[in-house]
Amino acid sequence: MAHLIKAQPFDFQIDLSRTALIIIDMQRDFIEPGGFGESLGNDVSKLAKAIQPCRDLLEAARNTGLLVIHTKEAHAADLSDCPPAKRLRGDASLRIGDPGPMGRILIDGEPGSEIITELAPLPDEVVLVKPGKGAFYNTSLKDILDNKNITQLIFAGVTTEVCVQSTMREANDRGYECLLAEEATQSYFEEFKASTLDMIRAQGAIVGWTAHVTDIVSSLQGEV
């Protein structure tokens, strides 16, 4: 069934039977104090603003029966999927694989790599571990979407300008129509989020559309 969502740069026509919600990297290491994000000198409270909008969007998606996919940026314990150029970049106090307050930083299976409790996946929801910023790189994401005949994607998560935008651009190149939920995505840098939203919807939705969470939820609930 097709619905219209009030969006920028123009309304987004959504087919619920062919749509999935992808929540990007809402992990303890990025959002909670003491994790990798804070070790880079970031104010993690800024990302916490996305939690409740993500919860609202997730609840609506579950009630509508959408395919829900959660991603985690995490690496193998032996760091075989983490190139030195990624691990050694910058001047962080903690690096990927180092012991931290929530276990080894960004290592799959460690407490810090897990999705925050407020957005805990249900048993039947996909949890996709990705070694890169984009969720299509070295993962089975495209196969999962193709097997479900998915052609449209609603995005939420963090950070807007890095993993969220990277995945949206990957999806756009693969022919998916992409909609970003504005309040359900955040950055450590407010100006980066604003610029990313502008870039995504520029030139007639060159990468995708953006919409307010309330408008997306209303459409999923059939209220518009």
Catalytic residue among 46, 72, 130, 133: 130
Known catalytic residue at 130: yes
End-to-end Cα distance, the chain = 13
Known catalytic residue at 54: no
Are the C-beta atoms of residues 13 and 4 closer than 8 Å to each other? yes
Spatial distance between the Cα atoms of 212 and 11, rounded to a whole number of angstroms: 12
Known catalytic residue at 25: yes
Catalytic residue among 46, 72, 133, 163: 163
What is the bridge-based pairing of β-strands 12-15 and 2-5?
antiparallel
Residues 6+ apart with CB under 8 A from 143: none
Are the C-beta atoms of residues 181 and 7 closer than 8 Å to each other? no
Helical spans, DSSP H, in 78-189: 84-87, 141-147, 165-173
Residues annotated catalytic, as ranges: 25, 130, 163
